[in-house]
Structure 1
Amino acid sequence: MARELTQLELLKELSGVAEENVNRHLKITRDWNPHDYVPWDEGRNFAALGGTDFDPEQSELGDVAKAAMITNLLTEDNLPSYHRVIAENFSMDDAWGHWVGRWTAEENRHGIALRDYLVVTRGVDPVALEEARMIHMTNGFNPEMVNVETVDQMRHEGIEYAGMLHAVAYVTFQELATRVSHRNTGKACDDPIADKMLQRIAADENLHMIFYRNITGAALDLAPDKAITAVRDVVCNFQMPGAGMPNFRRHGVLMAKHGIYDLRQHLEEVVQPVLRKWNVFERDDYTAVGEAARDELGAFLDKLAEDTVKFEEMRDRALAREAKKREAKAS
């Protein structure tokens, strides 16, 4: 039986892949400036500087777009939490450290652009937004990718828990999910400036996803059992990074109802494409431990597909009721 690699050994073995993908990213990414995506001529002073404070009538965003923009921005705001998780699980040396810094700097652009756009256009209440930011960042975020029982089980089976595998697997799915959410939010804003900005942000998220997807793919080749266990844990316990922010559930429901990010998108546009890329269900290099983890993952996906159909049936009924109410009011 092959020797189980420790986290440090995994980082060393994967350092060449990390360097290759950092170089790939730097070659194909395009730097951009947040200020180029903000309609500054729409801006004006608030009351503290002799102007007028926010009034809901000033916003041209619909309720769905507001909920999505706030959720997306607060997610980006909590960057320090994600930086901490990545930095704690990666080495800060060589390509790993360079990527942590580069990724953090690129993600920070997203929050800058989103906030400037919303404040300048008065798309949402800036006071409520700041209050929510303070709450969300104070609480922080740590993705619940694995629980104590899973770690104990892994150790019982002779597999050392490697947090970096859970971290890279999580951000693979999270970056792709965020890309989908940003892209659909841009469409919902019904504003070509917002749409162009969110397309730019979504393109960044896609490149970030590719980096993490490639690292996880290499880890599956290097340590199949350990990596598929991490993938199983992440997929079966996945939460968007905005979980825990004020009004997250209400905003999430609204976004799901109106096609910003729902169960089918999560399954068909995020989870399934990544698993296919990794060839998860066709691999033959697992031991019994890895096969068991893959089987659990497959069963979870079957259940998720069933839940997706149920959700869509409920959503369609709810939207039909809302449409009837609007027709009744109009008549």
Structure 2
Amino acid sequence: MTITDLPRQGRPDTPGLTETALLTELEQVVATNLDRHFGTAKEWFPHEYVPWTEGTNFDGPYNGTPWSPDQSGMPEIARISLVLNLMTEDNLPSYHRAIAVQFGQDGAWGTWVHRWTAEEGRHGIAIRDYLLTTRAVDPIALERERMIHMSNGYAQPDSYDALHSIAYVSFQELATRIAHRNTGKISGDPNCERLLSRIAQDENLHMLFYRNLLNAAFDLDPDQAMRAVTNVVRQFQMPGSGLQDFGRKSVMIAKAGIYDLRIHHDEVVMPILRQVRALERTDLGPTGEIARTELVEFLSGLDFAAARFCEKREALLAKQAARRAR
């Protein structure tokens, strides 16, 4: 079925809500979802997920043992993914500033902004403590990378208003959840998998919160919501994309099956679109229909690119297996 086959109500193409009006209309939805979040989220403590007995002093003032790669049996790709995830979490001050400016710090919106920031802060604490305690990464290189990344900060695209931000984090939180879970599985360490699985639970609750807001935004202003979703899906990048060597590391992560185009299409983009009924809605005006047509065309290209990537990866893995068998 194509978009033109879908029934529609022929809603007139009237100007959408202003950003202030949209945030005001969504305030009660935020309050309702805050109640749901507080009733669902479970308190947890980062220190309980770190195997402290594996830790020893590093070189420096305590005259410990210098770090070396052979001190951890973790696969290299798991280390790369963990550091990438950690660097993303570390830029939390920039993310907080961005959403606090857009959503405000008063009322239900402000309560959520601060709660989300506090919960995300645990993730960086726990991952760093785990990495250093288990000596999975070079602590000096890690700190230098953190300094560079945080000094650069994070800025949303200039075209992103509050509605675009809501759409973006709906997809991004789900992508982060999946990346954490898959990194834990490939780490080969039950402690790492347990920690990242716990963090992924937080990310899932955050995704549900934002997805519910996106659903409500579609009901309030379907045309603007469709345009925001289309723009975000077409331009999507993880917040760590500004990291040094991000492109090469992302390719390595994709080849390892931690996060690739097929996962992005099948497990991130399409589930969100189904939940907000983006491809089935009958309440769009002309501009909303144009945005949806663009979205459908992009999804077709994304699906094709995902298939091509998987084919190439399977061929490469087959060649590598054949070489090892000789």
- What is the aligned counterpart of 1:13 among 7, 20, 25? 25
In 1: Cα distance, 2:302 partner to 2:176 partner? 19
Give the letter for the 1:63 counterpart. Answer: E
- What is the aligned counterpart of 1:292 among 273, 286, 290? 290
Number of the residue aligned with 1:105: 118
In 1: Cα distance, 2:306 partner to 2:15 partner? 40
Number of the residue aligned with 2:71: 58
Does structure 1 residue 139 correspond to structure 2 residue 191?
no
Deviations 1:128-160 (A, max 9, x none): 11111111111122244x75xxxxxxxxxxxxx
Q: What SS is found at the alignment partner of 1:265?
A: helix
CA offset at residue 208 of structure 1? Answer: 0.1
In 1: Cα distance, 2:50 partner to 2:212 partner? 33
Q: What SS is found at the alignment partner of 1:286?
A: coil
Select between 243-252 and 261-270 the one with higher mean Cα deviation.
243-252
Deviations 1:150-209 (A, max 9, x none): xxxxxxxxxxxx710000100000000000000001101111111111110000000000
In 1: Cα distance, 2:207 partner to 2:19 partner? 21
Superposed counterparts of 1:118-137, under 5 Å: 118-137=131-150
Indicate if the aligned counterparts of 1:143 and 1:239 stay in contact, CA closer than 8 A: no
Superposed counterparts of 1:269-284, under 5 Å: 269-284=267-282
Number of the residue aligned with 2:224: 226
Select between 54-63 and 173-182 the one with higher mean Cα deviation.
54-63
Superposed counterparts of 1:1-331, under 5 Å: 2-48=14-60, 49-144=62-157, 147=159, 163-328=161-326
In 2: Cα distance, 1:318 partner to 1:55 partner? 31
| TM-score normalized with structure 1 length | 0.92
Give the letter for the 2:105 counterpart. Answer: M
Number of the residue aligned with 1:158: none
Deviations 1:247-304 (A, max 9, x none): 2122211111111001111001000011000011111111100000011001000000
CA offset at residue 242 of structure 1? Answer: 1.1
Aligned residues: 313
In 1: Cα distance, 2:122 partner to 2:135 partner? 20
User: RMSD in angstroms over aligned alpha carbons?
Assistant: 1.3
CA offset at residue 324 of structure 1? Answer: 3.4
Deviations 1:95-145 (A, max 9, x none): 10000000000001000000000000000111111111111111122244x
Indicate if the aligned counterparts of 1:176 and 1:209 stay in contact, CA closer than 8 A: yes
| TM-score normalized with structure 2 length | 0.93
CA offset at residue 71 of structure 1? Answer: 0.8
Give the letter for the 1:9 counterpart. Answer: A
In 2: Cα distance, 1:164 partner to 1:190 partner? 40
In 2: Cα distance, 1:310 partner to 1:55 partner? 38
In 1: Cα distance, 2:103 partner to 2:211 partner? 15
Q: Which runs of 4+ in 1 moved over 3 A?
A: 324-328
Q: What SS is found at the alignment partner of 2:281?
A: coil
Give the letter for the 1:184 counterpart. Answer: N
In 2: Cα distance, 1:122 partner to 1:247 partner? 22
Give the letter for the 2:17 counterpart. Answer: L
Unpaired stretches in structure 1, ≥5 consecutive residues? 148-161
Q: What SS is found at the alignment partner of 1:47?
A: coil
Identical amino acids, percent of aligned pairs: 53
In 1: Cα distance, 2:217 partner to 2:320 partner? 48
Indicate if the aligned counterparts of 1:11 and 1:91 stay in contact, CA closer than 8 A: no
Q: What SS is found at the alignment partner of 1:243?
A: helix
Give the letter for the 1:6 counterpart. Answer: T
Specify whether residues 260 and 24 from structure 1 end up closer, same or farther in structure 2 by C-alpha distance, changes over 3 A only.
Answer: same
Indicate if the aligned counterparts of 2:102 and 2:162 stay in contact, CA closer than 8 A: yes
CA offset at residue 322 of structure 1? Answer: 2.7
Deviations 1:203-227 (A, max 9, x none): 0000000000000110000011111
Select between 100-109 and 134-143 the one with higher mean Cα deviation.
134-143
CA offset at residue 3 of structure 1? Answer: 5.0
Indicate if the aligned counterparts of 2:16 and 2:223 stay in contact, CA closer than 8 A: no
Indicate if the aligned counterparts of 2:265 and 2:303 stay in contact, CA closer than 8 A: yes
